[in-house]
A and B are shown apart, each in its own frame.
Chain A
């Protein structure tokens, strides 16, 4: 065997080793990178603060939000309670009694008076539990 061939084989072997080492190092670097923890994977500039719901709470008013300004005289109030619960709504120009449906949801459309409206919503469960929420709403057609 010629001397040049031996040198070429030796160099080829060394280069092969270098390549293998490079690939191994690169793979190791990728694998060793720590997986982002759940808190890192989701940005959290604002900490989510779920509305605390008391276990004893019987009534939730879903819409509208408190201090909402409506430009319509009629407004739909929706909420959630337990099935079989009776809900009383006291609004400025009247009152209404309604029953929650089989899923516990209820909704009612009421009339607002111009300006300030204080709406009281009260739930009565058949076993005597009660819960009450107050909604302060404003009816105004003025441009805000």
Chain B
């Protein structure tokens, strides 16, 4: 009887030993579940962040090209933009009075402010009618002085072929960046072949009335003898 008990105990012991592989086999499915839950959490986080970034406060401005179904289509300098309005959108007229969507007209110049859903679409909270901005005739060009005269010279660009006739006025500011400090200079400082950046008004083709002239000083290359000296110093 005792021996039978021993055998039974032994059998039960061996049977228990068969269980450890089962949890091991489950580990793989457990890992999959863990990966899946992490994946879902990451997806949720990304969706959340995307929603926030997509709904950033943004504004468009441009000329109304179309009006329909509480939607304003604006022609901007960077393409067509759509602004959707709803009952809560505040619309302000040119005289700062509150207006309705029906009061808007094609060719009105507007600022629309709200939250952007995409680069070209806006959920609009505020619309303001403004007067159309004046055309900005300012340009900035770079080139070398040619045919220098007292009140004008030609500016020859470094890369393209279009040259400019530059007119100097009594208000023209001429300056130079001298080691981080801007030094104002007289018109006499201008010299043939000087490299310039000019900001001016271009009201006539190929002509600039100069507002600001910056004389560009290129970093001078290190003389060979000096370089050799440096190398010698390093070697020593």
Residues of A at the B interface (CB closer than 8 Å) are: 2, 4-5, 7-8, 11-12, 15-16, 18-19, 22-23, 25-27, 29-30, 33, 36, 42-43, 45-46, 65-69, 84, 86, 88, 90, 95, 97, 99, 115-116, 118, 120, 122, 124, 126-130, 134, 136, 138, 140, 142, 144
Contact = CB atoms under 8 A, between A and B. Distances in A.
B24 A30 contact: yes
A74 to B, nearest CB: 18
Contacts of B43: 43, 45
Interface in B114-158: 114-116, 125-126, 128, 130, 133, 136, 138, 140, 142, 157-158
A33 B218 CA distance: 63
Nearest to A33: B28
A86 B77 contact: no
Given A124-B216, A129-B159, 7 more contacts: A8-B11, A23-B24, A33-B31, A43-B39, A69-B57, A136-B61, A136-B77
Contacts of A124: 140, 142, 197, 216
A53 to B, nearest CB: 17
Given A12-B10, A138-B113, A88 B57 contact: no
Contacts of A127: 158
Contacts of B6: 8
Contact of B116 (A12, A19, A67): A67
B183 interface: no
Contacts of A128: 142, 157-159
B10 A142 contact: no
Nearest to A129: B159
A2 B140 contact: no
B24 A19 contact: no
Contacts of A142: 113, 126
Nearest to A97: B214
Given A22-B18, A45-B47, A140-B113, A97 B11 contact: no
Nearest to A89: B140
B122 to A, nearest CB: 9
Given A36-B35, A84-B219, A128-B159, A23 B21 contact: yes
A19 B42 CA distance: 40
A136 B76 contact: yes
A45 B48 CA distance: 12
A22 B25 CA distance: 9
Contacts of B126: 140, 142, 144
